[in-house]
Amino acid sequence: MNRRARFLEVLGVSEEWVPRHAPALPQDGVAEPDVAADVAANLAAEPVAAAVAAPPEAPAVAAGDAAMAPPSVRDRAGPEAAPRPPAEIRPEIRPEIRPEARTEPRTEAPPALALALAPAPAPAQPAMPASAGSREAVIAGLDWAGLEARVSGCTDCGLCDRRTQTVFGVGDRQAEWMLVGEAPGENEDKQGEPFVGVAGKLLDNMLAAVGLARGRNVFIANVLKCRPPGNRNPEPDEVAQCEPYLRRQIALVQPRLIVVLGRFAAQSLLRTTTPIGKLRGSVHSYEGIPVVVTYHPAYLLRTLSDKARAWEDLCLAREVHARAGAKA
């Protein structure tokens, strides 16, 4: 940089056509050179060029540069100070701009702010279990083979832990009569067939009295397909898991009549809490299919006096079936 440029730099005068820039700040530990002392020492040896008409203490400054000049220079310049024409500016005296003199502002965000602005990772989506609706929809679309296989391998409730085998049902799968009991007992769990043992023999006699026979023109099933421990009453969640199986069996058989055996089976199928004594003697409906309620054979073995009422229920069922009409 020549002396004239350094002199202009000390006075704070910049060229009109040169973009203004912030003066470089001194670096820590590095002494800034005394440019003013160097300019004062050389003023006597070399006169200032004719481009600066005013004396050193009141140089003429451009209108745009007046605001950048030191206060002492602005005060002495006064309002008469006229801007220099661009023609007086010689390119060769342009102050040198050193790259190291520029200071760029920091654009890097603080660590805390950068962490806050960073996009949050998408949370891992847990695997969603199949809903009850989708499970029922799957079961509702099964045929006989698929339904029996699903029941055989069912582990949807805790009853699967103690069972010997599931009790799917037995009989004519195109029968006009369908009998629905409560749940398998000990003998049923061992043999895999509903209503066996002494209670089963009594049921066979009841069916024969109205012209039916196991495996020929009636289908027999239970609300539950697994035996509850100790032959206890089924729990609500156990019924909820098994009910779609029974519904599908009824849809596949398409019976003209359903005979429900026992209080629990009647209340489950009809979705009621009415005692069995008030349910029997009337015709109910399950999805358009007439339903007749009677006592469970095991109960009749303990209460012989109610066998006559059970016979009345079977006679009512026979009349309802006759009115419904036999299948072609």
Question: What is the domain partition of the chain in residue ranges?
Answer: 3-98, 132-324
Question: What's the confidence (pLDDT) of residue 11?
Answer: 67
pLDDT at 8 over 60: yes
Which tops the pLDDT comparison, 63 or 13? 13
pLDDT at 272 over 70: yes
A 10 A CB-CB count for 225 gives: 26
Record the tokens describing residue 63, joined without a space.
Answer: 């209108």
Kindly indicate the confidence band of residue 63, based on its pLDDT and cuts at 50, 70 and 90.
very low
pLDDT tens-digit series, residues 35-48:
445 544 554 444 44
pLDDT tens-digit series, residues 73-122:
444 444 444 455 444 444 444 545 454 444 444 545 555 444 444 454 44
pLDDT tens-digit series, residues 171-229:
999 999 999 999 999 999 999 999 999 999 999 999 999 999 998 899 999 999 999 99
pLDDT at 127 over 80: no
In the chain the beta strands, taken as DSSP E runs, fall at: 170-171, 177-181, 218-222, 257-261, 283-286, 289-294
Alpha-carbon distance 204 to 305, whole Å? 19
- To the nearest whole number, what is the mean pLDDT of the chain? 76
Kindly indicate the confidence band of residue 123, based on its pLDDT and cuts at 50, 70 and 90.
very low
Which tops the pLDDT comparison, 133 or 253? 253
pLDDT at 26 over 80: no
Alpha-carbon distance 277 to 265, whole Å? 13
Kindly indicate the confidence band of residue 29, based on its pLDDT and cuts at 50, 70 and 90.
very low
> What fold does the segment set 132-324 form as a domain?
Uracil-DNA Glycosylase, subunit E (3.40.470)
Question: What's the confidence (pLDDT) of residue 65?
Answer: 46
pLDDT at 55 over 80: no
**Secondary structure of residue 220 in the 3-state scheme:** strand
Give me the mean pLDDT over the 52-72 stretch: 46
Record the tokens describing residue 140, joined without a space.
Answer: 């509702």
Strand partners, 285: 290
Beta-sheet pairing, 170-171 with 177-181 = unpaired
Question: What's the confidence (pLDDT) of residue 195?
Answer: 95
pLDDT at 297 over 90: yes
Record the tokens describing residue 292, joined without a space.
Answer: 């007749």
Question: What's the confidence (pLDDT) of residue 124?
Answer: 45
Q: Of 14-28, 116-130, 156-170, 184-198, give the lowest mean pLDDT range.
A: 116-130
Question: What's the confidence (pLDDT) of residue 312?
Answer: 96
Question: What's the confidence (pLDDT) of residue 231?
Answer: 85
pLDDT at 298 over 90: yes
Kindly indicate the confidence band of residue 15, based on its pLDDT and cuts at 50, 70 and 90.
low
